[in-house]
């Protein structure tokens, strides 16, 4: 049960990454995606089904430079702070 809440948040964050990318906000999309990557790694969980497909599709749409910058920010934030930031992005607060 303790694992389900972060996994659900990461699934939602994956959707947010796709939405932000669709809006053309590539740098933010890369960071949101990287927060998901950090979280999935921390939980030793690989997204599957629709979430997994979306996660891979967003990854495939980002270039290496954007991913590198996003990963740097995500690692500095960590999963918890990163997910809080993703919420701010989704609400238009950042």
> What is residue 1's predicted lDDT score, i.e. its pLDDT?
44
Instruction: Evaluate if pTM is beyond 0.85.
Output: yes
Q: Which residue has the higher pLDDT, 26 or 5?
A: 26
Give yes or no for a contact between 13 and 86, defined as CB atoms under 8 angstroms apart. Answer: yes
The confidence score (pLDDT) of residue 79 equals 93
Residue (of 17, 27, 26) closest to 90 by Cα position: 17
- What percent of the chain shows pLDDT beyond 90? 83
Banded model confidence at residue 4, pLDDT cuts 50, 70, 90: low
Q: What is the mean pLDDT of residues 25-32?
A: 97
Q: In whole numbers, what is the pLDDT of the chain averaged over residues?
A: 93
Q: Is the pLDDT of residue 6 over 90?
A: no
Q: Give the span between the Cα atoms of 7 and 68, in whole angstroms.
A: 23
């Amino acid at each position: 049960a303790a694992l389900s809440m972060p996994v659900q948040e990461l699934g939602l964050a994956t959707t947010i990454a796709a939405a932000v990318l669709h809006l053309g906000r590539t740098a933010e999309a890369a960071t949101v995606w990287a927060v998901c990557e950090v979280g999935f790694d921390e939980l030793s969980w690989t997204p599957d089904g629709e979430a997994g497909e979306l996660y891979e599709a967003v990854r495939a749409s980002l270039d290496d430079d954007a991913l590198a910058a996003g990963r740097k920010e995500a690692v500095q934030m960590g999963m918890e702070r990163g997910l809080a930031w993703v919420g701010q992005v989704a609400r238009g607060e950042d």
